[in-house]
Amino acid sequence: MKNVTERTSNPFGLRPPFDRTDPDERTAVFGYGDANADFHVIGDFPGVHGGKRTGVPFTETEAGLAVQDVIRDVGFATGPRERPDLENCYASYVHMCCLPDGHRPTEREYDDLERFFDAELRAINAHVLLPVGDRATDHVLRAYTTQRRRLDLEMDALHAREIRGRGFMVVPIRNPPAWEGSDRATIVETLTEILGRDYRQTKGVATLVG
């Protein structure tokens, strides 16, 4: 069993390369959870999926809490919603830096943080990547699979779909505000089914064990 670190928040001591917040505001929402996890949930940035007040991904906002409720349903999260205890699950953002309310990251700012996100993702070395929404899904498919050019970025079609990557399995999650009908139930069922089998992958081969 791997033992990366027992630290829950920002386990690798990342420092954001820029700060656009006021002096008394949080600089960034760092990765959080079980650094030895097999499942890595990947959001966009704090303004979308929350954490500017709590410092924890997938808190505060409606979209963030909806994702947290899904991982609670499959047994990854327990405890308080503002600072849940995560087991076998790690959560982080493609863009960890906080921004003034209403501001979105520029393309350059996403690019500036890509190396930080990539380093943390590879350090966690999870088996299953769960990107939430268009931005995170696009990045994960481009960077960690050979499938992006073959797939349209239609989140209704990609939602809860198992996609083989380069040493990872990717299961995109449609951004919760866009959920319709059975979308929530479908992702819960998919994750439950994956947990019920040997989901581990041989790193670099991208084939399921067993």
What's the CATH number where 132 sits?
Answer: 3.40.470.10
Q: pLDDT band for position 2 (50/70/90)?
A: low
pLDDT recorded at residue 19 = 81
User: What predicted TM-score, i.e. pTM, was given to this entire model?
Assistant: 0.90
Q: Both tokens of residue 76?
A: 């990854």
- Cα distance between residue 31 and residue 13, in whole Å: 10
Average pLDDT for 80-92? 97
Matching residue, tokens 């190396």? 115
Are residues 134 and 127 in contact, defined by beta-carbon separation less than 8 angstroms? no
| 202, pLDDT greater than 70 | no
Position 185 in a domain: yes
Position 130 in a domain: yes
Q: Both tokens of residue 185?
A: 């139930």
**Cα–chain-centroid distance for residue 67?**
10
| 151, pLDDT greater than 90 | no
Position 158 in a domain: yes
Position 202 in a domain: no
Number of domains within the chain:
1
| 101, pLDDT greater than 90 | no
Average pLDDT for 137-144? 95
Cβ count near 177 (within 10 Å):
11
**Full domain range(s) for residue 71:** 32-195
β-bridge partners, 132: 173
